[in-house]
Amino acid sequence: MTNFGKSGIIYVTTERTLLVIKPDGVKRNLIGEIIKRVENDNFKIVDLNFIHLSRKQAAEFYKIHKGKDFFLPLVNFIIEGPVLALLLQRKNGQNRLRKLIGATDPKKAETGTIRADFGTSIRRNVVHAANPKENPPREINFFFPKKKRRSE
């Protein structure tokens, strides 16, 4: 988030955000490459969760898309295998991570982004990042419940 002080100085806040490496990224051995890109962009890894979601958990995580035509295929895909969730921190982290991963559809993603380089379709797009316009704290808390967090 960017705050404008009375003096007109822009204050950029350190933010936490969520990245999920989806089952296609895990299966294709892309974890190391994706983490390298995230660390090279000065994100700090606060915590990690390697987890195979149940159907119920997947539907809960993606509940914002319930009722859309791609909801069922999306849930089926995300439970194909384990995902790696990363709790990340960086100045302006939420917007910065969205830039690093690129547009949802890999065909439309900017050159050099994770989805442009590794995504194979709009569904099999390798990664998910919390959307600042939706509810990043809810998504973070889903994979990293406050009471179980390693560090604060």
Name which of 15 and 102 has its Cβ closer to ligand CMP.
102
116/71 Cα distance (integer angstroms) = 22
**Closest distance between ligand CMP and the C-beta of residue 70, in Å?**
3
Residue closer to ligand CMP (CB basis): 12 or 122: 122
Report which residue type is found at 36.
Answer: K
We find the least distance from the C-beta atom of residue 127 to ligand CMP, in angstroms, to be: 8
Residues designated as active site:
128
Q: How far is the CB of 67 from ligand CMP (least distance, A)?
A: 13
**Long-range interactions of 124-127: CB distance < 8 A, separation 24+:** 124/22, 124/24, 124/77, 125/22, 126/21, 126/22, 126/24, 126/25, 126/30, 126/34, 127/19, 127/20, 127/21, 127/22, 127/25, 127/34, 127/101
Residue closer to ligand CMP by CB (options 119, 144) is 119
Contacting positions for ligand CMP (CB under 6 A): 65, 70, 74, 104, 122-123, 125, 128
Burial code (b: 16+ CB inside 10 Å, e: under 16) for 117-126 equals: bbbeeebbbb
Residue type (1 letter), 105: D
Residue number with CB closer to ligand CMP (74 or 79) = 74
- Whole-number minimum distance, CB 92 to ligand CMP, in Å? 19
